[in-house]
Every structure is written in C-alpha cells, then in structure tokens.
Amino acid sequence: MIAPLDVFFLLLVLVSGIAALAARDLLAGVIAFSAFSLFAAMLFASLGALDVAFTEAAVGAAITTVLFVTVIFRTERTAAPTARRAGRLPAAAAGVACVVAGAALLKGVTGLPAVGDPDSPSSRHVSPRYIERGPAETGAPNMVTGVLADYRGYDTLGETVVIFTGGLACLLILGRTRPPAERR
C-alpha cells in the first residue's frame, strides 16, 4: 500500500469533483463528473477495494453518466438564469458554515486510527473472522462476496430492494400522465 499514490488519486478526485461543479457548461460538468468517478474507482483499487472500484467504475463512470447526459438532452444544457439571486444563502455565508463544520469534523479525524494500521479496532474486532474463516464457512474465496452475500446477505437484499424502489419511483414519477408500457 503506497500512501503517496492514494493521496495523489484522492487529489485528482477532489480536483475533478470541483471541476464538475464549476463547469459553465452542464455537459462538460457531467464529463468531469465521470472523470471524478473514474478517479474514485482508481483510488479504491489502490486502497485494495477491487470490488468497490469495479462497481464505482461501472456505476459512476458509466451508468450514472449516461443517465445524467440523457437528462441534459431532455432538459437543458446551459442554464439561462433570469431571476435575481434573491433571498439565498450567499457563497460567503455558506463558506463560513462549511469551514465551521470542517473544523469540527477534522477534530474528530485526528483521533482516528492511522490509515493502514493493521491493529485498529476495526481490523481486530469483527472482521478477522470474515478473513480467516470466511472462505471456509461461506465457500467464497472472494471475502467481499462472502460478507456481502452471506454474512450480511440481508443487507444485500435491502440493497436490491433499494434499487427496485428506485425503479418503481421513477416509473411513478414519470408515468403519472401516460402508461409507460405503451411508450415503445
């Protein structure tokens, strides 16, 4: 585990994320957002989370981007604001709020076990069983699969239900005026 490489990827994530929010053209923003997801996937891979990297790449960089682009083509590519900016939180106030929140959070961060510490509480309490006995107990050499589909299989059921809920929600929201079954 090479820490500098992780930090480098995370900086890329940060920069592309900011670019996604700052881009004038929404489409350019979405492309930057796609890069953001890809860099995040690289970061996860370099931290040893191959499954998460795979998922983030497939979901963030591919599907989510396609969905965003689709919606941009269906709505608008550049915002043409006409309203005055009235009664909204000015950027400076939001900045102050974020700095305060950040200071509070960073105080907590310094107490965390060091990244990569093999003796941190999270590495010593529950997880050793997943590694040392997981493959034998679940029959899955991929320990993440063992945890995901077996030890915590009920979470994964919940996850699948979340996805299904998302699909139904979309159907209801977009289908309120016309039966979607007849669209094709």
In the region spanning residues 38 to 97, those forming contacts with other proteins, defined by CB under 8 A, are 40, 43-44, 47-56, 58-60, 62-64, 66-68, 70-76, 79-86, 88-89, 91, 94-95, 97
Hey, which residues between 152 and 181 contact other proteins (CB under 8 A)? 152-181
Give min distance, CB of 22 to other proteins, in A.
9
Residue from 75, 36, 85 nearest 57 by CA: 36
Cβ neighbors of 109 (< 8 A, separation 6 or more) are none
Give min distance, CB of 1 to other proteins, in A.
5
Query: What is the distance between the alpha carbons of residues 63 and 69, in angstroms, rounded to a whole number?
Result: 10
Give min distance, CB of 67 to other proteins, in A.
6
Q: Cβ distance 12 to 36 under 8 Å?
A: no
Give min distance, CB of 86 to other proteins, in A.
7
End-to-end, the C-alpha distance of the chain in Å comes to 50
Total residues contacting other proteins (rule CB under 8 A)?
A: 143
Binding pattern for the stretch 123-152 against other proteins, x by CB under 8 A and - elsewhere: xxxxxxxxxx-xxxxxxxxxxxxxxxxxxx
Print burial letters for 60-81: b (CB count within 10 Å at least 16), e (below 16): bbeebbeebeeebeeeeeeeee
Binding pattern for the stretch 6-45 against other proteins, x by CB under 8 A and - elsewhere: xx--xx-xx--xx-xx----x--xx--x--xx--x--xx-
Identify the residue among 1, 35, 38, 42 touching other proteins (CB under 8 A).
Answer: 1
Give min distance, CB of 82 to other proteins, in A.
6
Q: At what angle do helices 26-46 and 65-74 cross, to 10 degrees?
A: 170
Query: What is the distance between the alpha carbons of residues 137 and 68, in angstroms, rounded to a whole number?
Result: 41
113 DSSP assignment: P
Interface with other proteins, residue 113, by CB under 8 A: yes
Interface with other proteins, residue 3, by CB under 8 A: yes
